[in-house]
Amino acid sequence: MSATPSSGAGPSNTDKTAAAHVLVAESLLLLRLAMSDEAPGERETAVLQRIAISAFGVAEADAGEIVSAVTMLEGDREVAQARIGLRGSGRGHRLILAKLLLQIATGDPDLKPRHERLAARVGEILALGDADLAEITGKNG
């Protein structure tokens, strides 16, 4: 017997918050991998921190912890496992991740000049085809 009746109205606020946190973490991990397979330097770490705060609204106190988690991948094996994890999502979810990240990159002063390279890397990491990337970036041809 539950004290809270089930209304069947959809996911709870807790579920929505958890899903949003997962999306932020996946997006930052994807950005970290798209910037480089190597360990991020100070510049990349600063970009990740800024994106966490400005694009996702992560509190500054929490951003460092999240960025630390996505930058601590060590070695080819952990990078490969992270890629496999991101690819394991359904196509629709991978398209959402790619579109979100590339929209953020378009508005970021450090990422905008690297947008085409990032788009190619995001497509490769998420196993998206050329047609998917063209749809996301608006380049049809």
pLDDT tens profile 30-63: 999 999 888 899 999 999 999 999 999 999 989 9
| pLDDT tens sequence across 89-141 | 899 999 999 999 999 999 999 999 999 999 999 999 999 998 998 888 877 54
Question: Quick check: is 94 in a domain?
Answer: yes
101 burial (CB, 10 Å; 0-12 / 13-18 / 19+) is: buried
Question: Quick check: is 10 in a domain?
Answer: no
Question: What pLDDT, on a 0 to 100 scale, did the predictor assign at position 104?
Answer: 94
Mean pLDDT of 67-92: 90
Amino acid at 60: E
* pLDDT band, very low/low/confident/very high, at 22 (cuts 50, 70, 90): confident
Shortest CA distance to 128 belongs to which of 83, 95, 84, 106? 95
- Which CATH number is 91's domain given? 1.10.3680
- State the Cα–Cα distance between residues 139 and 141, nearest whole angstrom: 6
Question: Quick check: is 9 in a domain?
Answer: no
Longest dimension (CA), the chain: 58
Shortest CA distance to 73 belongs to which of 95, 44, 96, 51? 44
Q: What is the residue range of 97's domain?
A: 16-137
What tokens appear for 50 in the block? Answer: 């800024």
Structurally, how many domains does the chain consist of? 1
Question: Quick check: is 32 in a domain?
Answer: yes
Within a 10 A sphere around the Cβ of 107, how many other Cβ atoms? 10
* pLDDT band, very low/low/confident/very high, at 5 (cuts 50, 70, 90): very low
